[in-house]
Structure formats: C-alpha cells, structure tokens
C-alpha cells in the first residue's frame, strides 16, 4: 500500500512539474516582469490555461491510444515501410490479426494524474481570467 502511494505521488509530482515548466515557458516568452499588473494577470492566466489545456488534451490522447484507436494508423505505416523493404511483403498480416496482437500486448495505463492535474491547472487559468476580467477589463474599455 505504501509503495503504491509513493508511485502515485511521484506521478502527480511529475505531472505538476511538467505543467509548471510549460507555464514558466509561457511566462518567460511573454516577458512577465516588463509589464503592468493587468498585463501580468493576463500572462498568468494564459500560462495556467495553456498548460492545463495541453495536459488535458494529452490525457485524452493517451486514453484514445490505449483503447486502440490508433492501431489502424500504425498498421498502415508498417505496411508502407514493409513495401519498400526487400521481401517485406512476406511479413504481411491481416488487419484483424495485427489488431488482436497489438491489443493483447497493450498495457492499460492510469492517466488519472495527467487528467486531474490538467483540469486543476485549467481551472486555475479560468479563475485567473475571471479575476482579470472583473478587475482590469474596464480599464481598457
């Protein structure tokens, strides 16, 4: 039980670290300390929103790929490569057999840490956007 908790905490820590890195890169690219407070609030909301959205979409992509939706693409790419290899057509197998073999080998991974941290960062970005809208929007209207 304790080992499982450590693994979950490590996974959440990695996800939060990646999201903070993405947020830092957004903040750094926009020059956070060179602007007024209103623009800095926009930059912060953009940073959290972008990192949260990217991780949430990545969680969706992980879910779709774990369900086998991308097996058809890998089957086509494999056959294109085998077409150009001498005697590669001898390794050709039917799509049904290929799909069954791939689904048999596929591991179900837990993507909850990616999804939850992505949604939390997305929520923080939305809250910061609402705060900016309530506090600073009338300054520019």
Average pLDDT, the chain: 87
Per-residue buried b or exposed e for 81-93, using 16+ beta carbons within 10 Å of the residue's own CB: eeeeeeeeeeeee
Q: Which two tokens stand for residue 82?
A: 């085998």
pLDDT at 18: 95
pLDDT bracket for residue 139 (50, 70, 90): low
**pTM value > 0.85:** no
Percent of the chain whose predicted confidence (pLDDT) is above 70:
96
Q: What is the pLDDT of residues 6-43, one digit of tens each?
A: 999 999 999 999 999 999 999 999 888 888 888 889 99
């Amino acid at each position: 039980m304790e080992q499982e908790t450590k693994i979950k905490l490590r996974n959440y820590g990695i996800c939060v670290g990646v999201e903070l890195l993405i947020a830092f890169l957004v903040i750094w690219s926009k020059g956070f300390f060179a602007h007024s407070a209103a623009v800095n609030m926009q930059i912060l909301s953009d940073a959290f929103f972008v990192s949260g959205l990217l991780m949430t979409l990545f969680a969706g992509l992980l879910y779709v790929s774990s369900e086998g939706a991308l097996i058809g693409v890998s089957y086509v790419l494999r056959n294109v490569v085998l077409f150009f290899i001498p005697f590669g057509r001898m390794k050709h197998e039917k799509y049904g057999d290929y799909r069954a073999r791939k689904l048999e080998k596929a591991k179900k991974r837990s993507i909850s840490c990616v999804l939850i941290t992505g949604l939390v960062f997305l929520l923080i970005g939305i809250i910061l956007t609402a705060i900016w809208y309530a506090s600073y929007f009338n300054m520019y209207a």
